Structure 1
Amino acid sequence: MTYGKKRWSTLMRTVHSVIKRTPRKYLAEIVLIDDFSNKEHLKKQLDDYIKLWNGLVKVFRNERREGLIQARSIGAQKAKLGQVLIYLDAHCEVAVNWYAPLVAPISKDRTTCTVPLIDYIDGNDYSIEPQQGGDEDGFARGAWDWSLLWKRIPLSHKEKAKRKHKTEPYRSPAMAGGLFAIEREFFFELGLYDPGLQIWGGENFEISYKIWQCGGKLLFVPCSRVGHIYRLEGWQGNPPPIYVGSSPTLKNYVRVVEVWWDEYKDYFYASRPESKALAYGDISELKKFREDHNCRSFKWFMEEIAYDITSHYPLPPKNVDWGEIRGFETAYCIDSMGKTNGGFVELGPCHRMGGNQLFRINEANQLMQYDQCLTTGPDGAKIMITHCNLNEFKEWQYFKNLHRFTHIPSGKCLDRSDVLHQVFLSHCDSSKMTQKWEINNIHSV
């Protein structure tokens, strides 16, 4: 099967499975949003094909690329027939009996938003299996770490105790974002997605916080199963359109924490210090929405709903310093080269772009990049980067005036070979220029 045919069959598989596996009396319409696609098969071929269903399936085309967040809000405005909106990505397959369990909680309480259990479809051979992680039954709650990356954590004992039987829907602090059901009017009352969120990223948290903090609830539904194809390795995604500007996802994260996290936003900035100076736009309308709707505090939310997240992702310590780690009076910086979980860091030309050259040293003496720590490799000398929690690899001190990093367990100093581009430990020698470093703050733009 050619790549083009595969894309077509994947989209149509989504549509066909919904039509075949949803009781006809409950299916008002299927709305497809074409987000300014340039794919040939999404034009006349699609228009001709959907005529098979005599108006049940509709296509609306955006006049410019809006990105998935605003495309979903547009979809809510275009879908006028159904009382409940159900969102699916265009690469899904709904299972038998997916519909009734998903909508039942909403029929009892219109301020409930529901999410099916999302199974994994292999994009190469279309085999399907349950998602990994979760508890012994595969049940997980949606969560995040403090740099706002999506996580799944096992269903807690507290939530299990609330249920009479294993198949009952359970509360989740957050959803992954692509697949969910919500009462149409309630979604509009929430203001849909923040119109300032662009393209992709953070919208799943924004809608989750808004639901919980403003009087609704979010449930995962074990009896509703939907398969979803995740990104294949090497898929780069579509670049954002020019009108969007740089760092749209990071700006989205900042908007979300500025509106919803209250004093907890400091933990985000501890994890993503480069975002502190980002211009994230006007949020006054969103703040007013919170006030007008008497939405609860993030502290309430963390204590009552998301109480188990900090045991999996503890609140990060404050930063002592952060930015690029530049060899003193050189043009070379420590660079993770995109490696994680055991790869060695290297020296690379400083580019002031952050990313693989953005590090932070915190009050717990960890030298970190995102959720990875620097430590010594198996030889005890070369420096590697590896995943860590807040109790691991508390090994570093930075003496700003001396331009020195010392490795506490060994008493040695951070050193480099400008010729071999290696970073390693050696005995401290204040006369060695290769042991001198500076940290320069970097701000995202």
Structure 2
Amino acid sequence: MRRKSRILLCFALLWVLGIAYYIYLGSGPGRKDEWNSIDPSKRKNGQNSKAEGKTPNVETLPPGKVKWQDFDQEAYIEATLVKSGQDPYARNKFNQLESDKLRMDRNIPDTRHDQCRRKQWNTDLIATSVVITFHNEARSALLRTVVSVLRKSPPHLIKEIILVDDYSDNAEDGTLLSKIEKVRILRNNRREGLMRSRVRGADAAQANILTFLDSHCECNEHWLEPLLERVVEDKTRVVSPIIDVINMDNFQYVGASADLKGGFDWNLVFKWDYMTPEQRRARQGNPIGPIRTPMIAGGLFVMDKGYFEELGKYDMMMDVWGGENLEISFRVWQCGGILEIIPCSRVGHVFRKQHPYTFPGGSGTVFARNTRRAAEVWMDEFKNFYYAAVPSARNVPFGKSDSAKS
């Protein structure tokens, strides 16, 4: 009897020790960590992402930053919505009411040539800093520009997006967007104009390649790779996409002709010129090859940062807007560079019939001053054709020209 009691006591002791050991294992730090790693919403049902064969993909963003998909579009544009009875064209000289209706990530038609769509693009390229200057831009248009850059570009090729706020009435137009990943904001403490604002953005850029965009654009599929590829191969290339049209009234996206080059008349006004029949025939064997162009429109282009600095950047004595596209084009061609339009790159742009902002002294005076500076600095004896076309320009003060080429 006593022997049976001892045996039972041993079994009981072993059972207690077994239970204690099991509890010890279950309460150890490893088990606690595993339990804590389970989504709280799944703990009740004993569900674990590991048991489901799923590994959480956690992407770390800098403090205060959000991915563009998580940015609150409605809250951002709410403060500037067109109210009932207001003219939707008054602020921006395009139909802001239609712009505000669109999603920040709306789909646009792929307007590229079929050969571009089939081509496998090299993505082993150098990242770029995208510089976008704006002044009192419609928030919906500015947001779509930023989102289209992030959405339509390989992430590793966008180093940053630098928004240069040229002293907009409401600083939050830019500061609120700086919450989006990769977006930085620089704000001028007075109105500087397009040229000086772009130079400020370029000086702050961390990447070795600069991409300049206007603030009312939408990038199309694989817009960036063809541009970067050309600049990486030769840093003296300054390249522009084909600029598609975003209708200022209904914001319909329309593909532009691939048979155009940039030019100018003797008023020094930029214009689009069709290729000659001979030029078009010569391109039939390679319709997606780069197009050498005398001028670029100036709103959208990519170039090497070091080469931009070698050229002397922009003429810092030009004001607000106008003539800078001719001036930078003259610089490139006369300083060993090449201007190209790349057909496989497409970016839409809202073309307006009027400027929505004011010019100090009037837009005509500012444009005349800027174009006369370009003529005096870069055109040598050919400036006489300009003065013959615009005799009144001789009476427009244009400042010192010796610093523009230095």
TM-score range, shorter chain: 0.5 to 0.7
1:76 maps to which of 198, 202, 215: 202
1:32 aligns with 2:159: no
Provide Cα deviations, 1:313-339, integer angstroms capped at 9, x if missing partner. xxxxxxxxxxxxxxxxxxxxxxxxxxx
Q: Does 1:47 align with 2:175?
A: yes
Q: 1 or 2 for the larger relative contact order (CA 8 Å, sep ≥6)?
A: 2
Aligned-CA RMSD value: 2.1
TM-superposed deviation, 1:130: 2.2
What is the rounded CA distance, in whole Å, between the counterparts of 1:124 and 1:106 in structure 2?
Answer: 35
Alignment check: 8 A CA contact 2:163 2:183 kept = yes
The answer on whether the counterparts of 2:312 and 2:404 sit within 8 Å (CA) in structure 1 is: no
Question: Is 2:379 aligned against 1:261?
Answer: yes
Amino acid paired to 1:61:
R
1:196 shift after superposition: 1.3
> 2:267 maps to which residue?
147
- Partners of 1:240 and 1:196 lie apart in 2 by 15
Say whether the 8 Å CA contact 1:116–1:222 is kept in structure 2: yes
Instruction: State the distance in 2 between where 1:46 and 1:286 align.
Output: 31
Shift of the alpha carbon at 1:161?
3.1
Shift of 1:286: 3.1
Give the TM-score normalised by structure 1.
0.58
**Alignment of structure 1 residues 22-421 onto 2, 5 Å:** 22-38=153-169, 40=170, 42-43=171-172, 46-53=174-181, 56-79=182-205, 81-131=206-256, 138-156=258-276, 157-158=278-279, 161=282, 164-231=285-352, 233=353, 235-241=354-360, 247-287=365-405, 289=406
Q: Contact between 1:65 and 1:241, CA under 8 Å: does it hold in 2?
A: no
- 8 Å CA contact 2:242, 2:258 repeated in 1: no
Say if 2:239 and 2:340, in contact at 8 Å, map to a contact too: yes
Give the AA of the match of 2:194: L
Aligned 8 A contact 1:159 1:170 in 2:
no
Kept in 1, the 8 Å contact 2:194–2:320? The answer is: yes
Q: Give the counterpart of 1:19 among 122, 129, 150.
A: 150
Aligned length: 274
The residue type equivalent to 2:161 in the other structure is: I
Q: Are residues 159 and 183 of structure 1, via their aligned partners in 2, closer, same or farther at CA, if it must alter by over 3 Å?
A: farther
CA contact (8 A) 2:261 2:293 kept: yes
Q: Secondary structure at the match of 1:220?
A: strand
The equivalent residue for 2:57 is none
The percentage of aligned residue pairs carrying the same residue is: 36
Aligned partners of 2:360 and 2:366 also within 8 Å: no
* Aligned equivalents of 2:284, 2:269: Cα separation in 1: 29
Which runs of no fewer than 5 residues in structure 1 stay unpaired? 132-136, 290-445
SS in 2 for 1:258: helix
CA distance in 1, matches of 2:281, 2:373: 33
Task: Give a deviation string over 1:377-412, Cα, whole Å, max 9, x none.
Answer: xxxxxxxxxxxxxxxxxxxxxxxxxxxxxxxxxxxx
Distance apart, 1:75 and its partner CA:
1.3
Higher Rg of the two aligned structures: 2
- Structure 1 residue 72 displacement after superposition: 1.1
Q: Is the 8 A contact 2:262 2:273 kept in 1?
A: yes
The answer to which structure has the higher helix fraction is 2
Q: Which amino acid in 1 is paired with 2:357?
A: N
* Cα distance change, pair 174–160 in 1 and its aligned pair in 2 (3 A): farther
Structure 2 gaps, min length 5: 1-80, 83-87, 89-95, 101-137
